[in-house]
Amino acid sequence: MGDAGPVPAEVPMLLASLAPDPLAGTLMLLALLWLSAKVGGELAVRLKLPAVTGELAVGLALTALHRLWPWFPDVVASPGAELLGGLGVVVLMFAVGLESTVPQMLKVGAASLRVASVGVVGPMAVGLAGAWLLLPARAPFVLDLFIGACLCATSIGISAQVLREKGAADSLEGRVIVGAAVVDDVLGLLVLVAVSGLVGAAAGGRLGPELAKTLALALGFLAAALTLGRLATPRLFRLASRFRGEQVLLPLGLGFAFLLAWLGSLAGLASIVGAYAAGLILEPAHIEDLERRERHTLEELVHPLVMVLSPLFFVLMGAKVDPSALFKPATLGFAVLLAALGVAGKFVAGYAGGQGTRAAVVGWGMVPRGEVGLIFVATGAQLQLNGAPLLAPDIQAGIIGALLLTTVAGPVGLGWVLGRKQPA
């Protein structure tokens, strides 16, 4: 055959135009994640369960489908989805911080402080004991501590929804639960910081000095954020209120949250600590001029972002669980026993509410872990001990299974005790 001659210049251009967009795969995965999250959340809500349980379950199902059919998309391998999921958890913790203020933390009362303290110490103790008994003897002690830390968290959003549905949000128990959850968030984050510091210290062989350094950094950062930050933010947002552009409040609020998240990471803390601190600092009085001008509160503006981004985080958390590990008898047994210990540890906190409160209501209200516990697990999944991940796949699956069980048990138990008639 003779030479066909030079290829016309138009041919490479035509082939390039037919080549797939490098962004197309990520777009397809994001579409799959969002649609799956909504379907899973809807099914959970119809079953009277928190939406987060459906989002985790559907993530697990996506991984199982990829294991069965390798041509099915691997959602965990997408850098774009991982990035948006990480942004989702930062925005979520910013929104959690916006739900309370520093003055509210100082006014929650002795009952809430007692419930929060017992609600952290109790689950930490039983979780530590349970992990020590259930895990092999060769498991490092810091792993036992981290499992106990994962049981410290409380998801007030789930209990608050049940309280609203039962008309008990303004009851004495409802106020105690909400106040305790505010303190519980801060105490739980400090526990997470301390245990994460212990993991790093154990790897370096210097437990005492490294732990002291980590705790000093954490307390110093939070103290600076909640004092200097509260002094600076009114002036900054008063200056921002002079901007003439439209939609100023949300970008400035998110920019402030991401800045503190970055500063927190520089201090050696998880970025979620900085994002939570940013939410606490931004009190309504600081941004009332912008909220009045834009006719929306910052919480209202952030809420759609939380609804859009946080489901990606939960689906990806479920997708990272090894299905074969989760359904092993040993892992399931570990999850059930850990969940039972977690429920007991939080339920005992209800008895710290004092006279006039129903211990069962307060105790069940503190049981759900939900998104906060999963954030702890996600942080632990990134920790390394002696060159290996701190959480092995079967242990991570067991912890997530336990958190799921407490997330389901909490609202069921709370609804049951609220539905009972009080004794005359």
Is 149 a domain residue?
Answer: yes
* pLDDT for the residue 15: 45
Cα–Cα dist 13/151, whole Å: 58
Is 316 a domain residue?
Answer: yes
User: What pLDDT digit, counting tens, does each position of 207-217 carry?
Assistant: 556 556 666 77
Domains held by the chain: number? 1
**CA separation (Å) from 55 to 61, 104, 375?**
10, 32, 14
Query: pLDDT band for position 424 (50/70/90)?
Result: very low
Say if CB 257 and CB 279 are below 8 A apart.
yes
* pLDDT for the residue 252: 81
Q: Return the structure tokens found at 21.
A: 């967009």
Is 406 a domain residue?
Answer: yes
Say if CB 37 and CB 371 are below 8 A apart.
no
Of 34, 33, 84, 49, nearest to 409 by C-alpha is: 49
Q: DSSP for 27-67, please give it.
A: HHHHHHHHHHHHHHHHHHHHTTS-HHHHHHHHHHHHHHHHH
Phi, psi values for residue 2, rounded to 5°? -80, 170
CATH number at residue 208: 1.20.1530.20
Is 63 a domain residue?
Answer: no
Cα–Cα dist 249/293, whole Å: 10
* pLDDT for the residue 185: 67
pTM confidence score = 0.67
Is 22 a domain residue?
Answer: no
- Which residue would you say has higher pLDDT here, 421 or 95? 95
Percent of the chain with pLDDT over 90: 0
Among the ranges given (179-193, 316-330, 334-348, 404-418), the one the predictor scored with the smallest mean pLDDT: 179-193
Is 346 a domain residue?
Answer: yes
Could you tell me the residue range of the domain that residue 293 belongs to? Answer: 79-417
- Which residue would you say has higher pLDDT here, 236 or 102? 236
- Mean pLDDT, residues 55-83: 81
Is 16 a domain residue?
Answer: no
Residue appearing with tokens 């797939």? 20
Is 355 a domain residue?
Answer: yes
User: What pLDDT digit, counting tens, does each position of 108-150 carry?
Assistant: 567 778 888 888 888 888 888 888 777 776 667 778 888 888 8
Say if CB 419 and CB 361 are below 8 A apart.
no
The conformational region for residue 139 under phi > 0 = left, psi -120 to 50 = alpha, else beta, is beta
